Amino acid sequence: MAVTARLAACALLVAFAPALHLHAAEGYAVEETRLATYPRGEAMEWRCADCLHVGWTVRGDGGQCAVVDGRPGPLYDAIGPMLCTPDGAHRAYSAQRGGRWTVVLDGREGPWYDGIGPVFSPPPLSLARLEPPTVTYEGAFVLSPDGRRVAFEIRRGQRSVAVVAGEEGPEFGRIGPIEFSPGGQHVAYAGIAPDGTETLVVDGRAGPRYDHTSQVTYSPDGSRVAYVGSRGGAYMVVVDGVESAPYIGIGTIVFSPDSRGVGYPAWTGPQAAVAVADGHVSAVYEDVGPVVFSPDSRRMAYRALTRGKEVAVVDGEPGPAFDPHMEPRGSLSFRGGFLPTGTAHLAPAARSIAFSGDSGHVAYVAHRGETAFVVVDGAEGPPFETIAGEPVLSHNGRHVAYVGTRGGQRVGDRWQGGSQALVLDGQAGPLYPEITYLQCSPDLAHTAYIGGGQGRWAAVVDQRELAAGKRWVRVVLSPDGGRAGYVLQREDGFVVVVDGVEAGPYEQVWGPVFSADGQHVAYTTLTAQEGHVVVDGVPGPAYEWVAPHVPPVLRADGGLEYLGAREGTVYRVRHTPIGTPAEGNP
């Protein structure tokens, strides 16, 4: 078929220069920028939509066409995954024509290959040497967080090669998942030889060969990488290419917030564990929990088991001893290594420890007999049967909040049933069968959660029940905690309540979301016929479609942007408070 004839398959799309439509809402100017028309009722696949951009594919007799913001790309035999960066600034998709594949990044085709992918999911570790990986689909690739690079696997006969930004790496029997660093500046993957041995490839450079590699971890700034390598039954942590001493097991690797420090628990024997931080090895304990760095990266803490008792070790100093909260572990203990079957170790609920935002205070859950309590800077709180999750400290460490359970029944080594309460500075709030969606302001002056069960759920703000419905949906505090909004389902639909003012009912609601300064709030309402975005209580224009499952982008000045569609046209919609210039306009 001639190219011109094949392109007729995309003629259903009409791309044109953006046009503006202005509307007025109480206190707001509403500006619609027309992005594209789309063929209503035709075979379309929505692939990519953030708040400001939209992409889809259109099928025709001649093939498939990818469309981004109304601009159709070339016609291909097939379109693979379509990916977007979180800010919508970069978009990519894979495409196939004549049996060959390419990745199109921001409208530019990359090199063509006989196949892209498949990307594999490894089998369980117990079967890793016996079963091949699970294949997903052709055309699979990954997009770097900054949107500047794509990476994927290609096959050459029985060999695999990773291609990153058009550059081919070394050949292997197969390769593991390709992972970019948080900023996208580095990329790593495991290269697996035909004999099953592995090497981690970082930025195209292959490291030492191991029996197995795992737990690839980037520092918060993306400049450093660590992973676990095993050889002959020994496990080593490799940080920036430097290998640690060998251990029989490795726990979770963590970097400090400033990316300078790195720590992890490690095991030297069945009941011999140490905490390792920046190469310094702690005293030997029977077990060690995950290493936790303070927000300022200057302090470090972890839980440990010693002489059958649990202690919190802060800055290298063990605290008071409490009864252990233990569980029997199987042979596979942590992501990085193995421990003997039947050995008792710290239970996950007892492994956490928390610093305050100013790094000056420490809190954790402890146990004595059949009671649990929170310890803050060595001071014990009131007893409960269980503590759900870990405590939350205010930024200055003067206040603490957590969920405690009372009234349950002991069944074996576990508590069942009972009622939960939010405990703030030792004072318990109302009891509910379950508390969920807990949110706290940074100073703990304000709290919000959904409490209930068995067909009755209530929104509770600052320990006061405000409203109840048959099913909980969501409760939201503004960033400063001074305002609250929530959604509940009642018999006649969903209602939205912000600062005590109720709106609805609606068939569906997304949101609410607050602006960064807490002064503005928005949410999306939907019925079978239309949807609206409501800003500060003022509904915007009606649309047949509003970008699904994506909240509007709400700016500090109360303006916001989102995507809406009406009568076959997609619009980028901007609400601007009257008297405030639209962003990017004079």
- The answer to whether the CB of 418 falls within 8 A of the CB of 411 is no
Predicted confidence (pLDDT) at residue 86 exceeds the cutoff of 80: no
Domain contains 566: yes
pTM above 0.85, yes or no: no
- For the record, the structure tokens of 29 come out as 């100017």
Q: Which of 197-201, 356-360, 508-512 has the lowest mean pLDDT?
A: 508-512
pLDDT of residue 549: 54
pLDDT of residue 329: 35
Domain contains 291: no
Domain contains 109: no
- 336 vs 342: CA distance, rounded Å: 18
Which band of pLDDT confidence, cut at 50, 70 and 90, is reported for residue 332?
very low
Which tens digit of pLDDT belongs to each residue from 1-25?
A: 333 333 343 443 434 444 444 554 5
pLDDT of residue 4: 37
Mean pLDDT of 501-509: 88
pLDDT of residue 394: 93
In three-state secondary structure terms, 62 is coil
- Average per-residue pLDDT in the chain? 81
296-301: long-range contacts, CB 8 A cutoff, minimum separation 24: 296/257, 296/258, 296/358, 296/359, 297/256, 297/257, 297/258, 297/260, 297/261, 298/359, 299/355, 299/359, 300/261, 300/263, 300/275, 301/353, 301/355, 301/362
Predicted confidence (pLDDT) at residue 513 exceeds the cutoff of 60: yes
DSSP secondary structure of 288-343:
E---EE-TTSS-EEEEEEETTEEEEEETTEE---B---EEE--SEEETTEE--TT-
Mean pLDDT of 296-306: 94
Closest CA to 564 of 581, 552, 579: 552
Mean pLDDT of 400-422: 79
Provide the strand spans (E) within 470-549.
471-477, 484-490, 493-498, 501-506, 508-514, 521-526, 531-535, 538-539, 545-546
- Type of residue found at 444: L
pLDDT of residue 11: 41
Which band of pLDDT confidence, cut at 50, 70 and 90, is reported for residue 293?
very high
Predicted confidence (pLDDT) at residue 339 exceeds the cutoff of 80: no
pLDDT of residue 42: 53
Domain contains 144: no
Of 373 and 88, more confident? 373
Domain contains 569: yes
Of 222 and 474, more confident? 222
Rounded to 5°, angle at Cα 332 from 122 and 233: 85
pLDDT of residue 334: 35
- Which residues have a Cβ under 8 Å from the Cβ of 452 and sit 6 or more positions away? 432, 433, 434, 458, 468, 472
Mean pLDDT of 365-378: 91
Handedness of CA 453, 458, 459, 461 (dihedral sign): negative
Mean pLDDT of 413-441: 86
pLDDT of residue 33: 85
Mean pLDDT of 474-500: 88
pLDDT of residue 530: 87
Domain contains 249: no
pLDDT of residue 219: 95
Query: What is the extent of the structural domain holding 22?
Result: 1-42+507-586
pLDDT of residue 311: 94
CB atoms within 10 A of CB 24: 9
- The answer to whether the CB of 209 falls within 8 A of the CB of 238 is no
- For the record, the structure tokens of 456 come out as 């009755």
Which tens digit of pLDDT belongs to each residue from 112-159?
A: 998 887 544 444 433 333 444 444 447 889 999 999 999 999 988 888
Predicted confidence (pLDDT) at residue 511 exceeds the cutoff of 60: yes
Tally of domains in the chain: 1
Which band of pLDDT confidence, cut at 50, 70 and 90, is reported for residue 568?
confident
Domain contains 274: no
Question: How many Cα atoms within 13 Å fall on the side-chain side of residue 255?
Answer: 20
Share of residues in the chain with pLDDT > 90 (%): 43
pLDDT of residue 284: 95
pLDDT of residue 16: 40
Which band of pLDDT confidence, cut at 50, 70 and 90, is reported for residue 109?
very high
In three-state secondary structure terms, 266 is strand
Domain contains 476: no
Q: Which of 137-141, 207-211, 419-423 has the lowest mean pLDDT?
A: 137-141
Which tens digit of pLDDT belongs to each residue from 17-66?
A: 444 445 545 667 888 888 777 666 554 455 555 556 777 787 777 788 88
